[in-house]
Amino acid sequence: MSNQKARIGFIGTGWWATANHLPILKQRSDEQGDVELSAVCRLGKPELRMVQEVFDVPFGTEDYRQMLNEVELDGVVVSSPHTLHFEHALAALDRGLHVMVEKPMCTKAADAQELVRFADEKGLHLLVPLGWHHTSYIQEAKRQLDAGVVGQIESVLCHMASPIRGLLQGLNFDHEANGGGLFPPDPTTWADPVIADGGYGHAQMSHSLGLMSWLTGLVPQDVFAMMTQAESKVEMYDALTVRFTNGVIGALSGSGDIPEGQMFQLDIRIFGSEGMLLLDIERARLAIHRHDKQDHIFDVASDAGGYSCEGPPNNFADLVLGNTSDNYTPGEVAMRSVMILDAAYRSAKSGQMETV
């Protein structure tokens, strides 16, 4: 649909949608004119009216079915609570709409697999916004790995840490200091085990596992996990051992308790038959060390590891418009992170290794 407007609807417009997705697409609508914010759906009539007024959206409803039935759309952004992602994304796909669904794409592997299968069957784009995939030196890491720079991958290490202890504890969250937005996140969205269906894993490791899956192409087979809480009802710390389908093993970990103001940590190390690739966002580095001594330390700016908030919404708009076929954060990649996390939560509960 080149040279037309991408008509976008939103299901769920809380903290992050109003801090990131809506402002970015509104700016694009104002400056480029190729995106139309057509409809929003969220609970709470006063909040709904506020979203419509601030972002100049003509249609608003508390019922996503009404939006899908009554508004002509080309794509939908799903930013509802984790456990509703599957229902909302599936409904939009069923209407023949392209979908950008927030991470975690789903909380259950079977649901994630169904979304990917259904989108593929209908020829629709399914994107999960993972911003680091849009960072230039991380894209260079992907190119190097695709070219076989480390040879056959044999083992991976992936660690992430974030300053979200209060969020996972259900404490008041300073949304103004964390991206802005019209509303603070509802504490239950992240801290209630029934609504969140998990803690740091779903909240943040969905980023790191999605990135690791995208870089390596690895498909999980078995997972053993240990998790601990810290004055919270959901887990704050995760330690996972994963065996992938090709025999590769991985050590994957996460922590929600680095001090406020510290930069996110995301460290991925990929070991192969011909060498290793080291990727870090906190220290912003990309390095390749090979057994034949053909090493390469890439020149990366010290602040290059910042999260790319603009990348996913603009990539989604371009996919909907037909401007590109490159989906940097496809549903297939997010699905593999859900497969790992689903098995990890089952393992932490059973005390046994669980098959994906």
pLDDT in tens, 199-209: 999 999 999 99
> Residue 180 has what pLDDT?
79
Average pLDDT of the chain is 96
Mapping DSSP to helix (H, G, I), strand (E, B) and coil, where does residue 202 land?
Answer: helix
Query: Quick check: do 6-131 and 132-312+334-355 share a fold?
Result: no
pLDDT bracket for residue 2 (50, 70, 90): very low
The residue-averaged pLDDT of 38-63 equals 98
Q: Indicate whether this model's pTM tops 0.75.
A: yes
Question: What are 196's two structure tokens?
Answer: 């969140």
Q: 237-244 and 249-255: which strand pairing?
A: antiparallel
- Give CA–CA dist 55/123, Å, rounded: 30
Question: What are 165's two structure tokens?
Answer: 């202890």
Give the domain ranges of the chain. 6-131, 132-312+334-355
Over the stretch 205-246, which tens digit does the pLDDT of each residue have? 999 999 999 999 999 999 999 999 999 999 999 999 999 999
> Residue 232 has what pLDDT?
94
Q: Is the dihedral of CA 233, 234, 239, 244 positive or negative?
A: positive
The residue-averaged pLDDT of 104-131 equals 98
CA torsion 90-94-95-97 (nearest 10°) is 60
Q: 220-228 and 35-41: which strand pairing?
A: unpaired
Third-level CATH fold of 6-131:
Rossmann fold (3.40.50)
pLDDT bracket for residue 173 (50, 70, 90): confident
> Residue 177 has what pLDDT?
67
> Residue 1 has what pLDDT?
54
User: What dotted CATH number matches 132-312+334-355?
Assistant: 3.30.360.10
Does the pLDDT value for residue 181 go beyond 90? no
